[in-house]
Amino acid sequence: MALDKVLLGRLLQLNEPWTVRDFRFDPGARRIDAWIGLEVQRGWFGLARKQEPEAAERVWRHIDLAGWRCHLRVLAPPNADLSSLPWAGPADMPFSQALSKQVFALFNEGVSLNGICAITGIPLQELWKFKFALDQGKAAIAEPSKASATPSMQPAADPGAPPAAASDDDIPDVADPVWLQLIEGQRDIDIRALSLKLLMTRLRSQMEVITDDEVRMLKLRELHRYFVKNARMLGHELAQLRTH
C-alpha cells in the first residue's frame, strides 16, 4: 500500500505540532501501527532544537482506516494535554476517544458485548475493561464543557427505542422522568420479578458513582430497554409506573 506520513497524518486528523513519525503495515492482519509525536523543531542549518523529554509510549486502538485496524503509539511530554484529541485516550484505557464514542454508540443501541466484538474486532477482554470503567464512573463520554453531575438531567429519546407512548397502556417513553426517578431511588415500586430486582440493584449502585451525563443516559436506556423486552412479565410493575 502506497502511503506516506503526511497523508496518514491527515487521515488520522492530526494537527500541528503532532505528526506521524513512522508507521508499519501488517497486510496479513490488516493492521496499521503508527508512531505519533511532536514535530521536531529545527533551527539554523536544519539542526534539531532541544525538546522536552518524552514520557513512556502509550498505545491506543483507534477507529479503523479503510477496514484496517489502527493502533496508535503516542510519545508525548509528561505534561502534554491529550484530553481533547480524538486519536488519544486516557492512559489506563485501551481505546482512543474516537473509538470509545463509537463503542459507546453501540452500547446505546443495545448491541451485546459479543456483537460489538464481532463488529469492531475488539478483544472481549478490552471491551470488558472499557465497560467496567463506564459502570464505575471512571470513564467519561460527554465533552468536558458539557459534562455535568446534575441529578435532574433528562435523557434524550433513545434512537433505538419504540415510538413514544401513545396511550396509558403503553410503556412510558425513555424521556419520561419516571425512569430517572426509579433508577435513582426517588420512586419505589413493588417488584416481583427477580431479574428486575437484580438489575435495579446494579443500576442504582452504578448511578451513585457515575457523573458523566452520557453514561447516565446509557443506564436509563438500559432500564427502559429491559421493560420493553420483558413487558409481558412486568405487568405488575408497569401498572405502578402508570398510576404515579
- Tell me what percent of the residues of the chain surpass a pLDDT of 90: 60
Mean pLDDT, all residues of the chain: 83
What local confidence, expressed as pLDDT, does residue 163 receive? 43
Whether pLDDT at 99 is above 90: yes
pLDDT band at 95 (very low <50, low <70, confident <90, very high): very high
Question: Among 14-28, 48-62, 101-115, whose mean pLDDT is lowest?
Answer: 48-62
What local confidence, expressed as pLDDT, does residue 91 receive? 85
What local confidence, expressed as pLDDT, does residue 83 receive? 85
Whether pLDDT at 14 is above 90: yes
Whether pLDDT at 38 is above 60: yes
Whether pLDDT at 50 is above 70: no
pLDDT band at 243 (very low <50, low <70, confident <90, very high): low
What local confidence, expressed as pLDDT, does residue 214 receive? 92
pLDDT band at 180 (very low <50, low <70, confident <90, very high): very high
Question: Among 4-18, 155-169, 211-225, whose mean pLDDT is lowest?
Answer: 155-169
pTM: 0.77
Whether pLDDT at 31 is above 60: yes
Rg (CA), the chain: 23
- Tell me what percent of the residues of the chain surpass a pLDDT of 70: 80
